[in-house]
Amino acid sequence: MRSNARTAAPSSGRTGRRLLAAAAMAVAGMAAVTSADAQPAAVKAPRSAVLQPQEPIVLRGRKDHVIQGVKIVPNGGKINAGITLENCENVTIACCEIGPLEAPGIDVSGSKGVKIVNCWIHDTGTKLGVRLYKCADVLVQGSRMERISTGVYALESTGVQVLGNYVEDVQGPMPRGQLSQFNNVTGEGNAVSHNYGVNFADKSHPEDMISLFKSEGTEKSPILIEKNYLVGDPEKGSENKSKSGSGIMLGDGGGRHLLCRENVLIGSGQVGIGICGGASITVEKNVLYGLASNVANVAVYVWNNSKTPGAADIVVRGNLAAWKNAKGGDSSFWQGGGFERVTVEKNEWDAWKYFKANGLPKPPSARPTPPVLYGDALVPWKTESKKPSW
């Protein structure tokens, strides 16, 4: 569900290459993007002492229900369902482990007021971690997802919040392959915030790490993409990743009222942030760093290759970027046309001296941001495992 021709024209410049890991280990002067005083509001999660084995769960037409502390386990081989909600209201799924399986970990349709917190969804292969269809007011927070097609895929929904999750090694294939993708998500209260995504070489098949397709917020409540930490392989960056994939893709197929701010993107794709259609889109105060790879292109581009009508009012402001293209040339910004009223101001492009002096922003903890900020909630994974290699 994405534009096919979306590769921005690279700029020329000096050649050069270093390993991303060497730069990542030079973290010195720049603060991490997540901090205790900047986290999403806490949500009280139910507590459970021990995960209890449970066959797949299906709820239809239920209201005010809690599923907590269960592990969805096979019954004679691999399971083909996790937790399914249909036409439900005010359901909380907390502290559960789901996977391996051959279906979406959590599949929610026609429901509202759903909270998915502190869950571990893993090894669904080419199936989704969380699927939302025609839903309203859904929170996915503090969960861990590994080796899934896409972390959270929301279709024709509203009020979707994806907050403080850790997503590792998405499997795709295209058009999936994201930490989170919104498809025709509209209205107020939509956000993808404070998430940490990483895709290791030879273990993942990402497309865009965060994707907004034909999605729009409102003037007072734009769709918010904020304070996410998105990284490719810590050593190889975007090497051998998708030739069309990006860290954050905005306005794909259209959309409007989108705000992308204060994200960190390190070798997150062939492009860092792309604006490829839509209107009323702001990209500000992001940090982007990418070394040369066989797919590397440009840090930020503005180009209406979706050819959406009424494409206008784009603001690119106060971003800090240093990016190499596949030939090793500096390539931090490219404007390909197709928009009316584009403002580009107060950015620092090709900021290599800054990163050399200050290092890269430190990665957040691989432990997802819990809904209960003081550690009251049980999590179903070993908190000491899966430490970042850097």
Q: pLDDT for 240-276, tens place per residue?
A: 888 888 999 999 999 999 999 999 999 999 999 999 9
The reply to whether 69 falls in a domain is no
Mean pLDDT in residue range 175-195? 96
User: Predicted confidence band at 359 (pLDDT cuts at 50, 70, 90)?
Assistant: very high
Q: Which residue has the higher pLDDT, 374 or 241?
A: 241
pLDDT for position 272: 97
The reply to whether 158 falls in a domain is yes
The reply to whether 77 falls in a domain is no
- CB atoms near residue 79 (< 10 Å): 18
User: Predicted confidence band at 47 (pLDDT cuts at 50, 70, 90)?
Assistant: low
Please determine, for residue 36, whether its predicted confidence score (pLDDT) is greater than 60: no
CA angle 73, 95, 42 (to 5 degrees): 160
Please determine, for residue 8, whether its predicted confidence score (pLDDT) is greater than 60: no
The reply to whether 328 falls in a domain is yes
Q: Which residue has the higher pLDDT, 217 or 79?
A: 217
CA distances from 181 to 117, 156, 211, 233 (A): 18, 11, 5, 21
In this structure, what DSSP letter does residue 354 have?
A: H
b/e burial code for range 257-266 (CB count within 10 A of at least 16 → b): bbbbbbbbbb
pLDDT for position 51: 77
Q: How far apart are CA 212 and CA 210, in angstroms?
A: 7
The per-residue pLDDT of the chain, averaged, comes to: 84
Alpha helices, DSSP H, located in 235-363: 352-358
**Domain, as residue range, for 177:** 20-37+149-358
Q: Give residue-wise pLDDT tens across range 127-159.
A: 999 999 999 999 999 999 999 999 999 999 999
The reply to whether 142 falls in a domain is no
Q: How far apart are CA 236 and CA 255, in angstroms?
A: 33
pLDDT for position 23: 29
The reply to whether 108 falls in a domain is no
Q: Which residues contact 341 (CB under 8 A, 6 or more apart)?
A: 312, 313, 314
Q: How far apart are CA 239 and CA 206, in angstroms?
A: 12
pLDDT for position 75: 62
User: Predicted confidence band at 46 (pLDDT cuts at 50, 70, 90)?
Assistant: low
277, 306 in Cβ contact below 8 A?
yes
Mean pLDDT in residue range 114-120? 94
* Phi/psi of residue 353, nearest 5 degrees: -65, -35
pLDDT for position 378: 62
In this structure, what DSSP letter does residue 37 have?
A: G
The reply to whether 164 falls in a domain is yes
47 burial level (CB within 10 Å; 0-12, 13-18, 19+) = middle
Q: Which residues contact 223 (CB under 8 A, 6 or more apart)?
A: 182, 185, 190, 191, 192, 212, 215, 216, 217, 255, 257, 258, 259
55, 77 in Cβ contact below 8 A?
no
Please determine, for residue 376, whether its predicted confidence score (pLDDT) is greater than 70: no
Question: How far does CA 54 lie from the centroid of its chain?
Answer: 29
Please determine, for residue 325, whether its predicted confidence score (pLDDT) is greater than 80: yes
Please determine, for residue 20, whether its predicted confidence score (pLDDT) is greater than 50: no
Domain count, the chain: 1
Give the chain's length: 390
Percent of the chain with pLDDT over 70: 81
User: Predicted confidence band at 54 (pLDDT cuts at 50, 70, 90)?
Assistant: confident
pTM for the predicted model, two decimal places:
0.86
* Phi/psi of residue 222, nearest 5 degrees: -65, 155
User: Predicted confidence band at 38 (pLDDT cuts at 50, 70, 90)?
Assistant: very low
The reply to whether 128 falls in a domain is no
Expressed in percent and rounded to 5, the helix, strand and coil fractions of the chain are: 5, 40, 55
pLDDT for position 172: 84
Please determine, for residue 335, whether its predicted confidence score (pLDDT) is greater than 90: yes
